[in-house]
Amino acid sequence: MKYLITGGAGFIGTNFIYYMLEKHPENEYVCLDKLTYAGNLANLKKAMEYKNFQFVKGDITDREFVFNLFEQEKFDVVVNLAAESHVDRSIENPGPFLTTNVLGTQVLLDACRKYGVVRFHQISTDEVYGDLPLDRPELKFKESDPLKPSSPYSASKASADLLVLAYHRTYGLPVTISRCSNNYGPYQFPEKLIPLMIINAMNEKELPVYGTGQNVRDWIYVTDHCEAIELILEKGRVGEVYNIGGNCEKRNIDVVKMIVQKLGKSEELIRFVKDRPGHDLRYAMDISKMKEEFGWEPKVGFEEGIERTIEWYKANKEWWKEIINGEYMEYYNRTYGHMY
């Protein structure tokens, strides 16, 4: 089978490519990535050594380019991870989120219709459901819940989900969607909570916690997400949505304190800063469908996952130093400069 993996030079895409190269060497893989600020070709250096892996630089919104690629390569399976993915950047400038996340998905769906695939899989997010209150721990998102996104990012992801389902119903395209909670692990761009806190703490820099730090996220180690995608590709029923989560709800402040403690730093580095506008309070996933259909459950506990992640950032200082020396610092100063 020939796979197209879009957005494979980003955090989850990179992890997914290595996971699949290891688990399914019988397939061929093409990674299509625009290499935005979040994409990093260096992530795929080892993948380039595999004969069954190929990298193509390109934009999923470029219809002519995408159609030519499909014509040449004749993909069997498409896994769409390409996206603008950071909520704070979507609040600053929603345009690129709509272009890539909605129109880019449409281009891929059209190419799949024209050239034919056995599966189009859309990587989506728990954020499409909106948020849950902090004082109702029994509530969790189910696949059948209405979509109620809060940010331009989550609205663009919800729009893409609706489009994917419409292409199934109207054109019979064999699609699946997975909606996952917050991932963490190697190769995550340091604008996201966990790598940002690890790197700032290592550098003895302030740790900016939005609002009161009570917001809750459901954390999943990235390889558990990869395994869940693999199962949906193998056994998922077309037209279906699958929730993926870590069964691991944590308040932001507790995550930050754990990182501080594991790195042997002082909690005095923590600063409570201006809240994110429209900040979702709590996410929690009901993952019983994944368990009932495939026997899947997340395997990596939070403590183990955080330790592995910290070790990776300690061992790969060159990787993140390169990033924080570039456009990242401008973004950081723009975003955090006025928050204190």
Contact footprint for ligand DAU (CB under 6 A)? 85-87, 125-127, 181-182, 192-193, 196, 208-210, 215, 217, 252, 276, 283
304 annotated active-site: no
**C-alpha count within 13 angstroms, C-beta hemisphere, residue 159:** 18
Q: Is 230 in the site for ligand NAD (CB under 6 A)?
A: no
Distances (CA, A) of 129 to 150, 202, 296: 9, 35, 22
* Total Cβ atoms within 10 A of residue 156: 26
Q: Looking at beta carbons, which residue is closest to ligand NAD?
A: 10
Out of 33, 59, 84, 127, the active site residue is 127
- Which of 3, 4, 5, 6 lies at the binding interface for ligand NAD (CB under 6 A)? 6
Shortest distance (Å) from residue 154 CB to ligand NAD: 9
Least gap, CB of 251 to ligand NAD (angstroms): 17
Written as six digits, the tokens of 66 are 């995408």
- 126 catalytic? Reply is yes
CB of 335 to ligand DAU, least distance (A): 8
Distance CA 33, CA 55 (A): 8
Question: For 59, what's the count of Cα atoms within 13 Å in the CB-facing half-sphere?
Answer: 10
Q: Angle, to 10 degrees, between the axis of helix 252-262 and the axis of helix 302-315?
A: 50
CB 34 within 8 A of CB 59: yes
Q: Are 10 and 301 in contact (CB under 8 A)?
A: no
Per CB under 6 A, does 105 bind ligand NAD? no
From candidates 4, 13, 132, 306, binder to ligand NAD by CB under 6 A: 13
Binding partner selected for residue 123 from ligand DAU, ligand NAD, none, CB under the kind-specific 5 to 8 Å limit: ligand NAD
Binding flag, residue 33, ligand NAD (CB under 6 A)? yes
Q: Which of 4, 69, 77, 83 forms a contact with ligand NAD (CB under 6 A)?
A: 83
**Residue 76 tokens, joined:** 């069997």
Furthest-apart CA atoms within the chain: distance in Å:
57
∠ CA 55-58-64, nearest 5°, is 125
Contact set for ligand NAD, span 43-82 (CB under 6 A): 59-61, 81-82
Choose between 85 and 176: whose C-beta lies nearer to ligand NAD.
85
- Quote the distance between the C-alpha of residue 326 and its chain's center: 22
Q: Which is nearer to ligand DAU, 33 or 126 (CB)?
A: 126
Judge whether 134 and 192 are in contact, CB under 8 Å: no
Catalytic residue among 126, 161, 218, 280: 126
Looking at the annotation, which residues are catalytic? 126-127, 153
Contact residues: ligand NAD, CB under 6 A:
6-7, 9-13, 33-36, 38-39, 59-61, 81-85, 100, 104, 123, 125, 157, 180, 182-183, 189
